[in-house]
Chains A and B, each alone.
Chain A
Amino acid sequence: MANPTLTRVPTMAEMAASGEQPEILFWVGCAGSFDQRAQKVTGALVRILNQVGIKFAVLGQEELCTGDPARRAGNEFLFQMMAAQNIATLEGYGVKKIVTACPHCFNTLKNEYPVLGGNYTVLHHTSLIQDLLDSGRLSVEGGLFKGKRITFHDSCYLGRANDIYEAPRAAMAALDAELVEMRSCKSRGMCCGAGGAQMFKEAEPGKEEVNHARTAEALDVKPDYVAVACPFCNTMMSDGVKYADRQDDVRVRDIAELVAEAAGLFG
C-alpha cells in the first residue's frame, strides 16, 4: 500500500490557486511523463521529495519539451518555439529553482535558457539526492544492496557537458554496495547512443549499435545493477542488457530508484 503522503504530486496551478509558492519545481520531462519505465523514476523522486518534506510542484499539462532533441537535430526554430513557451510558463509562476531527473532537460534549462531570458537555479536529481544524504535529511538502510555490485553509467549531458561526476557516485555510496567502475567512466565515459536526437531515429549504418557496445563494457565488470541517471540512458542500457540476454541477472536502475528503494520509500 502506497503511503498517500509519499506519493502526493501537487501542481503549480493548484499551488498558485491557493496562493502558495513551492520551494522547487520538479521538471518531469517528456520521458518522465510518458515513458513507462521513466515514470517509475519520476515516482521514486516524488517519494524522496515527499519523504524529506521538500515543498515541490510539477507543471503537469503546462510542461512542454525543452526543445533539446529538436535543437541537437538542427531545428533551431522548433527549439526557440519550445523555449519561449516554457520560459513564459516558468516566469508566469515565478519559478526560481528547478530539479529534474533528465540530464537533457537539466542541461537545456541550466545552460541554454538563460541567454533566452530564463534564469533559474537548476539541479539534477542526483545532486539534490547527494545534498539530502549529506545533510542527513534522507537516510538509507545499507542492507538492501549490501554486497551487490553496482556500476554507474555516466550520462554525457551530466558529465562532460556539466562536469557532474561525483553526485551520482556519492548518492550510491550510501547504498553500502560494491561500486565498480567500467573501463571507460567519468570524463571518458562512453555514450549510450541516445543523445543528439539519436533516440528518435535509426542509427546510421555501422558494425554495431552504440548501446550494445556500451552495455558490453558494463557487463564486463560483472554488475548486479547498472545504475543510470538519465531516462534515455535507462532505455538504451535496458535494451542493451536485453540484447545480451542478461535481463534476469543484471538490472538497470536510476539512482533515484536505488536510493528510494534503500530508504524504504516503496514500502
Chain B
Amino acid sequence: MAFVQPLIFTVLTVAAFSMAGLRFKRIYENIRMGQPEPVKGSLRNMILLALGQKKMFRNLIPALLHLAVYTAFLLTQVELLEIFLDGFTGRHRLIYYAVQDSAFGKGLYIAIISGIEVLSLLAFAATLAFLARRNLLKVLRFVKSEMNGWPRLDGNIILYLEIVLIAAIFTMNGADEALHRAEGKGSYGFLLSGNAVWLLFSGFSPETLAVLERVGWWFHILVVFSFLNYLPFSKHLHIMLAFPNAYFTRVSGNGQMRNMPEIQREIQSMLDPSALSGEALPPPDQFGAKDVQDLSWKQLLDAYACTECGRCTAACPANQTGKKLSPRKIMMDTRDRMEELSLNRQKHGPDHQDGKALLGDYISTEELRACTTCNACVQECPVSINPLSIILELRRHLILDQSSAPESWTQMFTHVENNGAPWQFAQSDRDKWISQTEA
C-alpha cells in the first residue's frame, strides 16, 4: 500500500496545477484584451518594490506585520520543495536524510526549517494582528463601502487559511519531532518544534503521532493547493502579480498624460494643412476609454495586481473629504468588469456585446469628476498601480465622445479656446499687469 499516498499526491498535484493553470491562462487572456502601451522592464523596480517591499515601509507597523507573513511565505517555498519530493516518492524528509551525514548539509537544513518555524510564529502573530485590524479595530481603509461583501470576506478567508497553514506546519513538525524522540532517534534540532512545540505531542503513542504527522503534512499541502486555486479568484493574486507589475514600468512620469497622436495629427492638419503629407488616417471609433478593452494591458495588469489594501483611497483628497471617488474602487471595478466581460464572451462567443461598460455601469461620472489628479493614489501604491491613468482615460471619453461636461467646464473650454485663458478675460488684457508692475 506504500504507493497509495504518492499516487493520491500525484493526482492531486496534477489536478491542482491544471485547474490553476486554466485560470491563470484566462487572466492572461483578459489582460491581453487591453491596448498596447510601451513599457520598460526594470529589474531594479522589481527588486526594490516587489521583492524588497520598499514602499510598504511608508507605514512602519503594517510594513513589519506584512514582512513577517511575506518572509515566512518565501522561506516556506524551500520546505515545499521537500514536501513535493516526499509526496512524489512516498519518502519522509528526503532531503534531511540525504544530508544528515554532512555537518554542513544538516546544519543548513536545520537552520532553514528553524527559520521557517520562527517566521511562521511571527506570521501567526501578524495574521492575528491583521484580523484584528480588519475586524476589531476596523482601520478606516478596510471598512470603506467598496469593501462590503465579498472583498471583506476575501480578505478574511486568506487570513484564516494562513492560520490553518501555520497550525499544519507546527502539527507536522511537532508530531514528527515527538515521534523521532519516541523512536529513540533524539531531536531533529529544529528551533521551535524541537524545544517547545513537541511537548504538546509528547503524551501520544507513536501510532497516533505518525497519524498526526500525516494529518499535518496533508493539511499543509492541501492548503497550498487550495491557495493556488483560490489565489487567481482573489485579491491575493498580488503575491504573484506584484512582480511583473513592478517590473513593467511606465515610460512616462507621473506628470505626463498619455499623448493622443490621432488628435495631435488632426490639430496639425487643421493649423497647417500642408504640414501633413501622405495618407489620411481613418478617424478612430471612439476616444478615451469606455470599457476595459479600451484601456491598456498595463492598466488591466494593474487591476489584477491590486490587493485592495486601500492606501490609495486613504490618501485620496476627494475620498478624505467624503466624495464618492475611491481609487481602489476604480481598480476593483476594472478587474470585476474584465471578469464579467470575459465570462460573457466565454458563454456567448468572443464577439458578444453585453451592452454594459466600465464607464456608467461600474464607475460613475460623479466619481471621475471628483479627481484632483494629485497623484497621491499613484504615490502610495506599494506595487506601482496607477488608478489616475484610468480615471483620466474615462474622463477623456466623457468629454470627447459623450460631450459630457459640467456647465462650468464647458465655459472654461470656451474661454481657453477664445481668450487663451480659462477665465473670461480678453487676450488683449493679458499683458495689462506689465504696465501695473512697471508703474
Contact = CB atoms under 8 A, between A and B. Distances in A.
Nearest to A86: B420
A134 interface: no
Given A84-B268, A116-B259, A206 B370 contact: yes
Interface string A200-218: 1111111111100110000
A78 B427 contact: no
A203 B369 CA distance: 8
Interface in A143-181: 156-157, 160-162
A75 B399 contact: yes
B399 A73 contact: yes
Interface string A95-122: 0000000000001001110011000000
B421 A73 contact: no
A78 B416 contact: yes
Nearest to A114: B256
B372 A69 contact: no
Contact of A58 (B370, B408, B434, B436): B434
Interface residues of B, number: 71
B395 A74 contact: yes
B317 A73 contact: no
Contact of B427 (A61, A160, A201): A61
A142 interface: no
Contacts of A207: 321-322
B43 interface: no
B374 A73 contact: no
A156 B420 CA distance: 24
B239 interface: no
A222 to B, nearest CB: 22
Contacts of B411: 200
Interface string A12-42: 0000000000000000101011100001001
Given A7-B437, A8-B438, A204-B318, A77 B431 contact: no
Q: Chain A CB within 10 Å — which of B371, B400, B434 has the most? A: B434
B408 A214 contact: no
Given A60-B430, A200-B409, A202-B406, A42 B256 contact: no
A30 B372 contact: no
Contacts of B371: 196
15 contacts: A11-B434, A30-B422, A30-B423, A33-B432, A69-B416, A74-B405, A76-B396, A81-B267, A84-B267, A111-B255, A116-B264, A188-B376, A201-B409, A206-B324, A206-B370
Interface of A: 2, 4, 7-9, 11, 28, 30, 32-34, 39, 42-43, 46, 58, 60-61, 63-65, 67, 69-78, 80-82, 84-85, 88, 107, 110-112, 115-116, 156-157, 160-162, 187-188, 190-191, 193-210, 213-214
